[in-house]
Chain A
């Protein structure tokens, strides 16, 4: 599997990271170098092996779905680049 320019553009859109058109080829080359190196995993026979997502084997704890924290909008908004009243502000989305 090899990434072409179109695919890099698609991935950059999915990741919401703008890449200048002039840099797409170079980025594709860089990413392909890494992906080619990763390809060696295909040598490993993983037939019947369950994917491992957790190393501890501990079950995730569960709790009542109740409010345990909060009620301090000033703290929450403290680092916001832009705000209106007690809300985060974003560029206009709906006309």
Chain B
């Protein structure tokens, strides 16, 4: 089988269980693809030996009739999930030598279910970025650069850029990502794949390198909605080691894919029509509305009046939490140290040398908004606006089951294009940040191609802990748009 890497997760799972091919063969096919695609820089570390070893263990279980749900499924892991004995850098020089002695809960659960680790995916440093250009290990190239024949290298989006590009290019069957303000959904949109951010608390944050703890959430990046549902079922679940992990039951998310949205109420928030958004984005949105309408859903106009304040709110709350979380990088317990005679000098120079520009900028902003005299004006103000943003969603969801919006305000742009203008970079997350602030589940589905032949995503946002409606509506969208995208996605 020369096209093993063309199978999606559900197909490969069946092929392995039916013994059409072994887990080891599947893993080897991906390891070869990773070598061919090395120029995309999707991986910070490759764990080939470990992958083969895990695949062999899968084959043994299958042989003895004890197959696990993800046996032989080769995946990439965003490099902020701590993996025992495997370098975990979070894309930062600060952690460029950090080898955890423990495993994150999310990855632990994936291995428990038989998945195979191919390597650790590149990402924006500490997940701060929307283009994967802030990584200490270099930028990631979007595989659509070649498909759409662009002269300049395109970004994969961020911060889960390595994960998204790897899945899109067929270097991993699926990958884990994390989403704080859009870091799963926006790269999924840019790379033409599916990205699912679950409800806050659905997946344990234990063992994930923290960025903004009230927002961070793990989720899958996959080729299909079904694949995302399968992976989420393994990743989710209550974990006593994360005090914010939700003690709610985990359904078999795959069963939500009924293909039936008859009678589903789909809200269309008027505030997401932004001035200056390219008309092709509006056109894509219209197409999504028509698809769901044709499938029997009812379309409802809704209003989320505080939408425009979501980004500035986020850029107080996320840096504030980051400045606190990243205080742990002090050159003493782990990570790099710049040796100095004096302790204070050691702290200041270690953090000067270990953090990149964007991370420093956010720590400084966060430190400022939390400092005496400014706390009320910035941080408490932002938390109050956050309450209003959540209230907007609560009110909208009294009348609708899900919301439909575009995922990102543009197609993938060239590497370095927005690097000199932080605010312009931040605007990439204008459609994804509101759901993050409200803790809601949301998915990005490939919706179609832009005029220049690049993928554009559609976003479905659901009620708290109602990933099932998100998956159901996403599946219906995918059925209508998926075949075009799959054809276009072949190099």
Contacts and interface: CB of A to CB of B under 8 A. Distances in A.
Given A1-B374, A91-B342, A11 B368 contact: yes
A40 B309 contact: yes
A44 B306 CA distance: 8
Contacts of B330: 16
Given A16-B348, A33-B422, A34-B365, A56 B439 contact: yes
A34 B423 contact: yes
8 contacts: A15-B363, A30-B422, A38-B316, A52-B387, A55-B390, A79-B97, A80-B334, A88-B332
Interface stretch (B137-145, B154-162, B378-386): B378-386
Given A7-B368, A41-B313, A55-B439, 14 more contacts: A3-B368, A18-B352, A27-B364, A31-B364, A35-B368, A38-B315, A49-B384, A52-B384, A53-B214, A56-B246, A58-B201, A58-B246, A75-B101, A90-B343
A18 B364 CA distance: 11
Contacts of A90: 332, 343, 346
A22 interface: no
A27 B357 CA distance: 10
Interface of A: 1, 3, 7-8, 11-19, 27, 30-31, 33-35, 37-38, 40-44, 46, 49-56, 58, 60-61, 63, 75-76, 78-82, 88, 90-93
Contact of A41 (B100, B312, B346, B438): B312
A80 B355 CA distance: 18
A15 B363 CA distance: 7
Given A34-B365, A81-B337, A18 B349 contact: yes
A41 B351 contact: no
Main secondary structure of the interface of A (DSSP, over half): loop
A91 B349 CA distance: 13
A35 to B, nearest CB: 7
A4 B466 CA distance: 47
Contacts of B355: 17
A51 B375 CA distance: 12
A18 B308 CA distance: 34
Contacts of B243: 60-61
B380 A15 contact: no
B387 A12 contact: no
Contacts of B4: none
A52 B367 contact: no
Contact of A14 (B246, B331, B371, B381): B371
B101 A78 contact: yes
A3 B365 CA distance: 10
Contact of A38 (B246, B312, B340, B351): B312
B209 to A, nearest CB: 13
B340 A91 contact: yes
B413 to A, nearest CB: 20
B363 A79 contact: no
A78 B247 CA distance: 33
A51 B201 CA distance: 19
Interface in B357-397: 360-361, 363-365, 367-368, 371, 374, 377-378, 380-388, 390
Contacts of B97: 79
A49 B243 CA distance: 26
B367 A91 contact: no
B333 A37 contact: no
Given A31-B364, A38-B316, A79-B97, A53 B383 contact: yes
Contact of A91 (B333, B336, B341): B341
Contacts of A54: 214, 244
B337 A82 contact: yes
Contacts of B334: 79-81
A80 B243 CA distance: 27
B335 interface: yes
B347 interface: yes
B323 interface: yes
B98 interface: yes
Interface string B235-276: 000001001101100000000000000000000000000000
Contacts of A13: 348
Which of A3, A18, A54 neighbours the largest number of chain B CB atoms within 10 Å of its CB? A18
Interface in B293-313: 306, 308-309, 312-313
A75 B82 CA distance: 14
Nearest to A78: B101
Given A40-B309, A51-B384, A78-B99, A33 B351 contact: no
Contacts of A17: 348, 351-352, 355, 360, 363-364
A91 B341 CA distance: 6
A52 B315 contact: no
A68 to B, nearest CB: 9
A6 B240 CA distance: 44
Interface string B92-109: 000001111110000000
Which of A27, A76, A90 neighbours the largest number of chain B CB atoms within 10 Å of its CB? A90
